[in-house]
A and B are shown apart, each in its own frame.
Chain A
Amino acid sequence: MTDTTVTTERAEERAGSSAEPLLAVRNIVQEFESRGPGGVKEGVIHAVSDVSFDLMPGETLGIVGETGSGKSTLARAVIQVERPKSGTVMFQGRDLTTVRHRDLKKVWANFQMVYQDPFGSLNPRWRIEDVIAEPLVSHTRLTAGQRRERVRELLELVGLRPETYLRRRPMELSGGQAQRVAIARAIALDPAVIICDEAISSLDVLIQAQVINLFETLRRELGLSYLFIAHDLATVKQVSDRVGVLYLGQLAEIGPSEEIYRAPRHPYTKALLDSVPGLDPDTGVARRPVTLKGDVPSPLDPPSGCRFRTRCPFAQDVCAERAPVLEDMGPGHQVSCHFPLDDQGLPTRGHPLSRQALDVATG
């Protein structure tokens, strides 16, 4: 089948051009008006505030953060489902924010979303073959026969036997199988980027592992890039090349996942890592989470200066006065903090609890 060879060529082509980012997101701002009872204006929700990142071909960028940190809003603003207030999104030499709405449909063939609830994204009355063929009908000129062939191929690709599943309906599937169908549909148009929005959060451990492995295999075979949004840091680490940590609509830290997990520079990143319950599979020793106090403040009225300061164990006066900006901490590693942490997790730059200050104090 010719589609397969096309796919492989595209995979090579994508892997080859590594210097140019596939997607260059700059200074995205997304704000919504909040209205109270009776339609009275309450204020502006600062959902995403000045976020920039690159996504390289074949790369997986993980986005982590708590509920309300703006993860999903950011993804939606990037692909223009909701137009961002300001900022640019460069894709294939075009700024998507200026693409007219009726031309966006073509662009969207390159971006596919996989959501948390697979059943919610599959029409319960359709057969699996029709569910997967739908994007082919509206976006390609394939004949009915070619479409059937392509659907079979896609099912094979996601590990579902076509004979068994073609004629089934979504309700006859388990959660893991339904998620595979949603993935088959997402890759039907050979997209450049898959956006996984908590795509595995509701699955059982074993199914979750199967789907993670599937994403990994597809990445290798099709040269896909992923924007992997999740709140589970261990999962994100498992799949991502780089990780961006969002807090109240701003990037607290972004960098190579290995670096971020080995030595987080932002106190929020460290707090997130510390709150993951861990189990060492070799020793069976559990690591009980360390709790981060408080809730995320309201995006209607984010704190002045550093938005994390109200929960930060190291906050100083300067943190309320001045907003920190993203600074380079190493190759591709940026952090937005006045007192970035050292390898031991202590603040630096003259903070009263920094290594130097403690050394002086203890003589």
Chain B
Amino acid sequence: MSVVGTSVEQSAPRGGVGDRPVLSVEDLRVTFTRHGRRIRAVKGVSFDVQRGRMLAIIGESGSGKSVTVRALMGLLPPSAAVSGSAVLDGRQLVGMSDKQMRRVRGMNISMIFQDPARSLNPTMSVGAQIAEAVRTHQQVSRPQAAERVLELLRLVRMPAPEKRVHQFPHQLSGGMRQRVVIAIALASEPDVLVADEATTALDVTTQAQIMDLLVDLRERLGTAVVMISHDLGLAASYADEVMVMYAGQVVERAPTQTLFSNVRMPYTRALVEAIPQISHPSHTLLSVVGGHPPDPGRPVQGCPFRPRCAKADDTCLTAPPLDMHEPEHSYACWHPVTGHEVPVAAAPAAEIPGGTR
């Protein structure tokens, strides 16, 4: 059977390397209805991902980054209304039936989550779980599946794979568990791998190992990776392109180096300034933007970051469009920052304006 042993080499020519995006999202919108209230979680997000590229979506909790990818995966509850377009390998994902979606989810797009322990079945051996994924997607005999399991474990650089297949999740370290989850995600040779905070719960050392693995898989298999993270340093270190989300919208997008060397959107600048730095002397206060993201249940007039932005004025009452103002660099702002300008008043540490809830 050709799936065994040759899949790595085979998958390279699939789809062809080129500029044609493997995943193309156009004006994606997600609205939840809760207790009669309409909560607009994602408000018109568009992006493309090319084969073998890594896109990072960054933003705070509630910015809509996870909802965006869950909408693509068809993992939202029935109360969510999804509109817009998301084309994966020429197939429209929005509006697909659950049955069709289940096929796509296995075959073309896979997802890994933050907590590997919860993604795995504690009562099944690692080998059995990976074999299950293999046999769901391919018609192979048990011995062939077992062979493929070992191959996948080697692919994710699991130490001593022959020993691991018989072990259970609780016998593995966090990093090894995440490798198992990735192996399961790769069982169907997906074109797009979505990593939702996949390394957040791991140690820095393990995080670096898993990120190296994702980069390596991207290069060897041509898998496109969409990583969701709130860690800007991580996104800056690994992604090819970065997309910053705030209140359900994309507020800035550019190739990684372009974006971080020339941050234009005040919100992105605020995020960059809030990262603790090894170069800071001890006990330095960080410059912090006060306030909270807007309540997704209430309509926002103009720029969503306006209430927290030091540069905001009456112009900002009109929502700025996400335009490509510079080559490959889009941002939604009327008053972009330049250089090292900090658009946020360094609020006194103990001051926090009243919550929005």
Contact = CB atoms under 8 A, between A and B. Distances in A.
Interface stretch (A38-46, A101-109, A168-176, A313-321): A168-176
Interface stretch (B22-30, B73-81, B146-154, B173-181): B173-181
A339 to B, nearest CB: 21
Interface residues of B, number: 61
A117 to B, nearest CB: 12
A295 B212 CA distance: 15
Interface in A217-239: 217-219, 231-235, 237-239
B357 A209 contact: no
A86 interface: no
A290 B208 contact: yes
B236 A277 contact: yes
A278 interface: yes
Interface stretch (B3-11, B39-47, B97-105, B260-268): B260-268
Contacts of B317: none
Interface string B319-357: 000000000000000000000100000001111101101
Most chain-A CB neighbours within 10 Å: which of B211, B276, B285, B354? B276
Contacts, number: 187
A217 B173 CA distance: 37
A258 B282 contact: yes
Given A213-B285, A296-B173, A279 B274 contact: no
A272 B236 CA distance: 19
Given A206-B289, A279-B236, A279-B260, A66 B203 contact: yes
Contacts of A210: 288, 290, 349, 352
A284 B352 contact: no
B276 A237 contact: yes
A289 B212 CA distance: 9
A344 interface: no
A213 B232 contact: no
Interface stretch (A24-32, A119-127, A159-167, A353-361): A159-167
A237 B236 contact: no
Given A213-B288, A291-B208, A206 B270 contact: yes
Given A237-B280, A292-B205, A205 B232 contact: yes
Size bin of chain A's contact surface: 35 or more
Chain B contact residues, majority secondary structure: loop
A54 interface: no
Interface in B222-259: 230-234, 236-238, 256-257, 259
B350 A281 contact: no
Interface in A231-265: 231-235, 237-241, 257-258, 261
Given A205-B232, A284-B260, A160 B276 contact: no
B208 A289 contact: yes
A292 B206 CA distance: 8
Given A277-B231, A284-B262, A289 B204 contact: yes
B208 A160 contact: no
Contacts of A362: none
A282 interface: yes
Contacts of B351: 159
B276 A295 contact: no
A237 B275 CA distance: 12
B60 interface: yes
Given A277-B233, A279-B260, A292-B209, 6 more contacts: A210-B290, A217-B349, A277-B211, A279-B232, A295-B175, A295-B206
15 contacts: A206-B60, A209-B286, A213-B285, A213-B286, A216-B349, A217-B348, A232-B276, A239-B282, A273-B278, A275-B207, A278-B237, A278-B277, A288-B238, A291-B209, A295-B159
Interface of B: 60-61, 159, 173-176, 203-209, 211-212, 230-234, 236-238, 256-257, 259-263, 270-278, 280-290, 292, 340, 348-352, 354-355, 357
